[in-house]
Amino acid sequence: MILILTDEREPTSDLVISWLLRLNKKFIRISKDDRLEITKITLNNHNQESDIEIKCTKTSNGEEFHFSTSEIKSYWYRRSYFRIEAFQNTLESESNLLNTLVKLYKEEEHKNIYKFLHHNLKAKAKLNNYSDTKLTKLEVLDKAKCCGLSIPSTIITREKKDVIAFQKRTGTEIITKSIGDPTSFFNYGLYAFTKLVDVEILPERFEYSLFQEAVQKKFELRIFFLDRKFYSTAVLSQFNEKSKVDLKAATSNEPNKVVPFLLPEDMSTKLLKLMDSLDLKSGSIDLIYTTDDKYLFLEVNPVGQFEQVSYPGNYNIFKKVAELL
C-alpha cells in the first residue's frame, strides 16, 4: 500500500495518481482536510516493525476507514500535513493556572505522537519527507559551496550601509529575495518576487533582508532530481522583459521558451554530492548559466513542482514517480 500526503487539490499529485491507477497500485491519499485519530501505537521488541493504527475520516464525503503504518510499504510526502484530532477533555479545574498547565502538557504529548508518526513513515519514504521542508535557503547555499558549486555573492543585513558596501565590493546591481519560502495562511498567500534594489532609497535600518549580486544570465536551468538522476531544462528567460530578473514573473500570455538540456558531467557530480549531503531523494533545483559561461547554483526546493521540467523535456516524470512508489 502507498500512502500519499498532499493537498486536496494538487495537480502534480493528481497526475501521478492517474499513473498509479494505470499501474494498478493501491494507495491512500490524505490531506490536511481529513481528520485522523491515532487509535494505538505498538512498539515491538527485537527487529519487529513498530506499528501505528489510524482511523481516517474523509471530510469530502464523511467516509471512515482504518489503516496501520505496517501496511504502508511506500510513502510520498508531497504537500500538506496530518490533521490529528486531539482528545477533548471535559474535566476542568477551578484553577486557571492548572487548566493552562494541563492544556500545555496535552499539547506537548500530542506533538510527540505527531513526531513519531513522521519518524515511522520516514523509513518508507521513496521521495520526500516532512522533515525535508524544514531545510532553509541559507543552509542549502552554505552546503552548496562546500560541494564545489558556485553561488551568487550574498549578504543578509538590516542596515543600508552594509548594502552600499556590498554593492561597491561586487561592482554589480543588487537584487533582493525572500530569506525563506512563500507563506500561505488558509486560502491566502504571501509571495515575493526577486527584485532589483535601488540602494539610495533604502531606509537606514530595516527588517532582515537577503541581497545578492545581480548576475548577467544567458539562460536559467530548471532541474528535477529523482532516483539519483537529473532531468534538466533550459528556460530562455532573457528574451522576456518580465522574467529577466525573476523567471517566475513570466505570465501565461507571455511564457518563456523551455527546452531540454544536458547537464555537464562535473555539474551532475557536484549536484549529486549536494543532494546526498542534504539527504534528499528528490527536489527541484534552480541554476543560472551566466554570460561568461559559468554555472551558478541558486536553490533547491525539496517539494518543488516538476511539470515545468517534465512536459517541455518530454521526460514523463509523473510516470517515473508512480513507478518508483
Mean pLDDT score, 48-72:
88
Boundaries of every domain in the chain: 2-132, 135-150+216-315, 153-214
Task: Tell which wins on pLDDT, 62 or 246.
Answer: 62
Render pLDDT for 137-182 as a digit per residue (tens, 0 to 9).
899 999 999 999 999 999 999 999 999 999 999 999 998 888 876 5
Mean pLDDT score, 200-205:
91
Task: Tell which wins on pLDDT, 101 or 310.
Answer: 310
Highest mean pLDDT: which of 121-125, 185-189, 205-209, 263-267? 263-267
Res 224 pLDDT > 80:
yes
Mean pLDDT score, 261-277:
96
The model's pTM is 0.86
pLDDT at 253: 66
Task: Tell which wins on pLDDT, 48 or 234.
Answer: 234
- What fold, for 135-150+216-315? D-amino Acid Aminotransferase; Chain A, domain 1 (3.30.470)
Task: Label residue 284 by pLDDT band (50, 70, 90).
Answer: very high
Render pLDDT for 170-182 as a digit per residue (tens, 0 to 9).
999 998 888 876 5
Distance CA 79, CA 104 (A): 27
Q: Mean pLDDT across the chain, nearest whole number?
A: 86
Mean pLDDT score, 115-134:
87
Task: Label residue 187 by pLDDT band (50, 70, 90).
Answer: very low
